[in-house]
Structure 1
Amino acid sequence: MELHEYASLDGVGLRELIAAGQVTMTEVRQVALRALEAANADLNALTLPLFEPAEPDPPRGPWRGVPFVIKDSGPFARGVPFALGSRAIRGAVALVDHDMMARFREAGLVALGQSTAPELGFSFSTEPLRSGPTRNPWALGRGVGGSSGGSAALVAARAVPIAHGNDGGGSIRIPASCCGLVGLKPSRGRTPSGPLAGEAGFGLITEFALTRSVRDTAHLLDAVSAPLVGEKQTAPPPLRPYVQELTAAPDRLRVALTTRAWSQVQVDPQVVAATEAAGKVLEWIGYPVEQASPELEAEAILDATMLGVIATGAAVLRAGRQPDRSRLEAVSRQVLAMAEESTALDVMAALDAQHRVTRAVALFFNRYDLLVTPTFGQLPLPHGTLRYDSPQHTARSWIREILDLGPFTAPFNISGHPAISLPLAQSREGLPIGVQLVAAYGREDVLLRVAAQLEQAVPWGARRPAHAL
């Protein structure tokens, strides 16, 4: 298999070649390793030497032999070191597979590397002091979003067709927007969070992946989203396989659109125009679109998001190997201090805020089936725009700053609703712009059906970053 052929295929295309015997898993792995090395030289998106965790048997499952990378977001793959993007965490190795990694293995995916992430995952840029900035294949001077930034860069550069990500406030969707990808945050409880965590980040964090095509997202969700015994919350099962939504006829849906941030911050005019254009395409497909949005309080969103900050800080403090605080970035030190100082009353106040947001979103989806918004409020940011190591920030002021840049994603982590970013537009400078679709709880079927229709109406597969393979 030649590198150009490998880079031209999405995950489904690659797995079909493997299943048909036109290429072997060994050949795919070898070309994928070359692709990752070549892409990383430009992008700085890998944290470790390339690897393939030892498997007792050849991979099986529908994705057998398809390469991917995992994110440096904590103990995820048995035997693989992790650092949470931090210089202060050394010698930590995952002793067991995360339940999501077990699902990836059962599906047949083969992990070949680990992707970069900002320290503790608390940024909408991926520029940790540990490894330096991860560069955007569309424009090397721009960032890739965060926190699943390294994964997004490698998929956009076509080094791998699929990469692991997780999303606690936009961390799959915002990198997808910045890198021109499909990024689905499933409903709370759709994918597992154990065995080391229960409700990760007080339920804000959901595991899944970034892809280049809607069909990859649908096929992968079918492979990894079955309920797991023991999970505190599981999403309702779909009525049919998600892949069947890809060819389903348009349904009667009540669609709302907004480009106004609940915090009233300014949204880039090109992002506004891209979102409004998506609404026009939906009307052309046959969906009437109204201007409407949930009635949300910006401070409640901020208060509820702080639950994830407290939870992450507490998880680090409870870990067996404590970080060297002198080597933590400035905001991370504030996060640990906040976790130590928070009381039960603080947690209850944040939980109350979470419930206010959740109720408002749920009431909105009693009236509408789909909400269309920008994904990120800005174009991909120049490197250095966000400074996580700034001593001027508290944990709260930092979260406020990143939510001002990306105000549209966090409410749906808080409420648990599924949301997807689609690469529907590009700026005058040729930078990707993502548009977010949100559906009622448990209705990934609606998201994938409409996403497939938009992909057909506004195809993006032929767009290639300047620094793609």
Structure 2
Amino acid sequence: MDPNLTRRAFLEACVGVGLVACNAAPFPVAATASEDLDALGQAEQVRRGAVTPRELAEATIRRIEALDGPINSVVTRFFERGLARAEAPLPDGPFRGVPFLLKDLNDLVGTRKTMGSRLFADFVSTENSPHTQRSLDAGLVVLGKTNTPEFGLVATTESALLGACRNPWNRAHSTGGSSGGAAAAVAVGILPMAQASDGGGSIRIPASCCGVFGLKPSRGRNPKAGPKRAVDISVKHVVSRSVRDSAAFLAVTERTDSGAPLPPTGVVRGPSDRRLRIAFHTANAYGQEAHP
């Protein structure tokens, strides 16, 4: 990140993404100087006064409008709500003022949550999920929700309700799933980080398909989903442009209460002093060996 990046240069570069998108073929994955800023880099620009949260939100909205049409990653948009939050006092978290997208499996009060299903096409959340609330407490500005297959159950992102999400690198290829909308939005340059979830590969598969960073935290690190779910095998996190964004997001969303099943990780800033032991096996549940 260029510490001398001015507000004008930042916004001009963001607008330039849309101009590139209108004139390039095949569909571009933009990479200008400002587009290289990760979420922590954008938050630092806000802290320094180089850019305001509203300006960041407006730039992201322009990128959604310029880039997302052929990709179909952002399926629910509430831009005015996001802009209003960007202008209001924000929590002084590590991502204060940074634009954000939620996967369409998550509750944000007053917004549509379809879960990719026609059964819930008009469902509106009446409360924030615990993980959504922690994201808001970190200072993030939510502008919409991303594509997911029905109930997030398959490893491709396509549904009868929301349609297929296309891979920005090659629109004939899959984004993977079920967090394909989030991974595509980050990969195409809409924003540096988007919320995702993973029960059996739903962060890791799209991250691999779309060329972004995806970590599945251990089960038990997320805040409890509440009494409505006796068992929840899915964990919530993000796909991101940088490893440090993923580490910082985990630090602000992980459980730190006395009943947490795992000790807090905190902010990981570099390699551990301890050597790690990693176990793996090559056979599946039926005893079949993986192809070498």
* Alignment TM class, shorter chain as reference: 0.7 to 0.9
Aligned equivalent of 1:253 = 276
**Within 2, Cα distance between the matches of 1:101 and 1:124?**
23
Aligned equivalent of 1:218 = 247
1:242 is the counterpart of 2:267: yes
The one-letter amino acid of 1:119's match is E
Contact 2:121 2:161 in 1 (8 A): no
Aligned equivalent of 2:175 = 144
* Mapping for residues 172-187 of structure 1, pairs under 5 Å: 172-187=203-218
**Within 2, Cα distance between the matches of 1:196 and 1:146?**
27
Contact 1:192 1:207 in 2 (8 A): no
The one-letter amino acid of 2:209's match is C
Residue among 52, 63, 74 paired with 2:95 = 63
> Secondary structure of the residue that 1:26 maps to in structure 2?
helix
Residue among 117, 124, 136 paired with 1:105 = 136
* Mapping for residues 430-449 of structure 1, pairs under 5 Å: none
* Aligned residues between the structures: 259
* Mapping for residues 385-400 of structure 1, pairs under 5 Å: none
**Within 2, Cα distance between the matches of 1:128 and 1:265?**
33
> Secondary structure of the residue that 1:209 maps to in structure 2?
strand
Aligned equivalent of 2:52 = 24
**Within 1, Cα distance between the matches of 2:48 and 2:144?**
26
Describe the superposition over 1:197-237 as per-residue Cα deviations: whole angstroms up to 9, x where unpaired. Answer: 344xx2311111111211111111111113358x7x53222
**Within 2, Cα distance between the matches of 1:169 and 1:256?**
18
Seen in structure 2, the aligned counterparts of structure 1 residues 228 and 112 have a Cα distance that, compared at 3 Å, is farther
Seen in structure 2, the aligned counterparts of structure 1 residues 151 and 106 have a Cα distance that, compared at 3 Å, is same
Aligned equivalent of 1:395 = none
**Within 2, Cα distance between the matches of 1:39 and 1:209?**
20
Gaps of 5+ in 2: 1-10, 15-31
* Mapping for residues 153-168 of structure 1, pairs under 5 Å: 153-168=184-199
Shift of residue 261, structure 1, vs aligned partner = 4.8
> Secondary structure of the residue that 1:63 maps to in structure 2?
coil
Shift of residue 29, structure 1, vs aligned partner = 0.9
**Within 2, Cα distance between the matches of 1:196 and 1:85?**
23
Aligned equivalent of 1:87 = 118
Aligned equivalent of 1:304 = none
> Secondary structure of the residue that 1:27 maps to in structure 2?
helix
**Within 2, Cα distance between the matches of 1:19 and 1:41?**
32
Shift of residue 50, structure 1, vs aligned partner = 4.1
Note the aligned Cα RMSD (angstroms). Answer: 2.3
> Which 10-residue stretch deviates more, 132-141 or 179-188?
179-188
Seen in structure 2, the aligned counterparts of structure 1 residues 91 and 254 have a Cα distance that, compared at 3 Å, is closer
Contact 1:6 1:14 in 2 (8 A): no
**Within 2, Cα distance between the matches of 1:16 and 1:247?**
23
Shift of residue 252, structure 1, vs aligned partner = 2.8
- Kindly name which structure, 1 or 2, has the bigger radius of gyration based on alpha carbons: 1
Gaps of 5+ in 1: 273-469
Seen in structure 2, the aligned counterparts of structure 1 residues 179 and 197 have a Cα distance that, compared at 3 Å, is farther
- Higher relative contact order (CA closer than 8 Å, sequence separation 6+): 1
Contact 1:193 1:207 in 2 (8 A): no
Shift of residue 260, structure 1, vs aligned partner = 5.5
* Mapping for residues 261-340 of structure 1, pairs under 5 Å: 261-262=284-285, 264=288
The one-letter amino acid of 1:226's match is R
Contact 2:214 2:240 in 1 (8 A): yes
Structure with more of its chain in helix, by fraction? 1
**Within 2, Cα distance between the matches of 1:227 and 1:165?**
21
Seen in structure 2, the aligned counterparts of structure 1 residues 72 and 265 have a Cα distance that, compared at 3 Å, is farther
